[in-house]
Chains A and B, each alone.
Chain A
Amino acid sequence: MGREDRPVTSTASRESAESAAAHGLVSCLACGLLCRSPAAPGAIRCPRCHACLHPRKPDSIARTWAFLITACILYVPANTLPILETRSLFGSQSNTIMSGVILFWNSGSWFVAALIFFASIVVPLTKLIALALLLISIQRRLAWQPHQRTRLYRLLDFIGRWSMLDIYVTALSVALVQVESLTSMRAGLGAAAFGAVVVLTMLAVQAFDPRLIWDTGNIPEEPNA
C-alpha cells in the first residue's frame, strides 16, 4: 500500500486501437483470461475459472434501465418517509434522511452532518443522474468524451457502497437505544426503501457494460435469446 502505481502502457497497442470483440476474442471478466469466442453464438465458459463469457454483458442497457427506473421510483419514499422514529418521555419524533442531516448540523456536529449528507443524498443522486446520462449517451451512439465517461463509470462503481452508511447508522441506533420506557428508536419504512435504492443502484452499475461506450462504430451483436 502507498506505493505509486505507475500506469504502464504497452506501445504496440497504441497504434491500432482495436477491440477484442472485433477480433473474435472474449475477455473473462472474473479472471481476465482472453479466450477465442466460438463461431456459433451461445454461452461459453472460461477454461480457467468457468465463468460465463459474453463479448458484452447480456442485455446490459435494458437491465441497467430496469434497475435504474426502479431505484428512481423508490427514491421518493426513501426521502419522504421517516428512516428513524424516536420515542421518549418527552414525545416522539420521526426523522427523514434530510431532517436527520439538518438535526446534526444544528446540533453542531458539522462533520457528521456533511458525511451523512454526502453518503445519503449526494452519492445516490449522482448515481441516478450519471447512469441515466451514460445510458442515453450509449443509446444515441454518441462518441462524446469516452475517456471521461469511462472514468465516470469507475467513480460510480467506487462510491456506490458508501451510501449504505445510513442503513448501518440506523441499524446500530435501533439496537443500542432501547432503554426501557426512557427512550427507544425504531427503523422507519424509509430505511427499507433507502436500502433498496442503494442495492438497486449497485445492481444497475454492475449490469452496465462500459465497453459499450467505446462501441460507437461497430456494435458486436450480443448472443441472447
Chain B
Amino acid sequence: MQIEPKPDACRVPTQRKLLACPHCDLLQFEVDLAQHHDAHCARCDAPLYRGTRARLDWMIALTLGSAILFLVSNLFPIAVLKMAGAYNTTTLAGTVLALHHQGRPIVAALMLITAILIPACELGAMIYMLIPLRAGRIAPGVPVCFRFVRAAHPWSMTEVCLLGVLVTLAKLSDMAIIIPGIALWAFAGMIALFAALRASFSVRDFWAWIDALRCAPSTDSGV
C-alpha cells in the first residue's frame, strides 16, 4: 500500500550511481540531495535531477485540481465584449472555430493543439500514472505515458495563452467594454496549480516509486 523506495530496490546495487549530463555528456556521480534542492552538472550547470519535492498525495491533489479548473476554463466563456448595444462572447474552443471558419486552418490547429489538446492529454496522462501508483499498482503503459509527458512538455503553452488572453483584453478594452468571464479566472488558477505540479514532479522520485513497486514481492498488486 505505502510507496516508499525500498533500500534493496533492484536497480541500486552500489551507493554511488553514475549519470551523464544531458547537455554536455559529462560522466559524474549522483549525490544525495536535501529536500527542495536541485543537482546541477559540475561542468555546464545544466539541471540534472531534483530532490524530493512533494509527496504523491500532494501531486495527485494538484493534478485533480488543475483538471477540474481546466474543464471549467474550457466550458465557460473567457470574456464578453460589448459594443454599441451588441455583444459577443467566446470560449477557448470558440477561438479555434472562428479561425477555422475564416480559412486559417494552420493557426486554428496551432491553437487547438497547444492550448487545449496537449494540456488535456498531459493532465490525463498524469492522472493515469499517479492514481494507480497511489493504490500500489503500476498502470499498464506507464513508460509510454511518461515519455508522452516529457515530449509534450514544450508544446503545452497554457501560460503563454493566458498572457495572450490578457494582452488581447487590454487591447480591446480601448474600443469596447470587456467583461472577463469565469473561464479566465479558472484558467489562471489552472496554470498556477499546473506549474506547482510540474515543479513538484521529480523524475527520479517517480521512477524510484515505480522501481520499488516492481521489485516488491507481489502480494496484492496485479502487475
Chain A interface (Cβ < 8 Å from any Cβ of B): 1, 3, 5-10, 12-14, 17-21, 23, 25-27, 29-34, 48-51, 104, 107, 109, 112, 115-116, 146-147, 150-151, 153-154, 157, 160-162, 164-180, 182-183, 186-187, 191-192, 195-196, 199, 202, 206, 210-211, 213-215
Contacts and interface: CB of A to CB of B under 8 A. Distances in A.
Question: Size band of the B side of the interface?
Answer: 35 or more
B42 A10 contact: yes
A75 to B, nearest CB: 15
Contacts of A1: 195-196, 199
Contacts of A167: 107, 110-111, 164
A97 B108 CA distance: 18
Contact of A17 (B22, B43, B168): B43
B23 A153 contact: yes
A153 B147 CA distance: 22
15 contacts: A9-B42, A13-B29, A20-B27, A30-B151, A49-B146, A49-B147, A112-B167, A167-B107, A171-B95, A175-B99, A176-B79, A183-B175, A191-B104, A195-B106, A206-B154
B125 interface: no
Query: Most chain-A CB neighbours within 10 Å: which of B78, B89, B110?
Result: B110
Contact of A34 (B18, B23, B104): B18
A114 B157 CA distance: 21
A163 to B, nearest CB: 8
A43 B41 CA distance: 27
Prevailing SS type, chain A contact patch: helix
B128 to A, nearest CB: 15
A25 B207 CA distance: 20
A168 B44 CA distance: 35
A115 B167 contact: yes
A31 B167 CA distance: 37
B120 interface: no
Given A161-B160, A186-B102, 9 more contacts: A8-B40, A13-B43, A31-B150, A49-B207, A161-B154, A168-B161, A176-B90, A183-B83, A211-B22
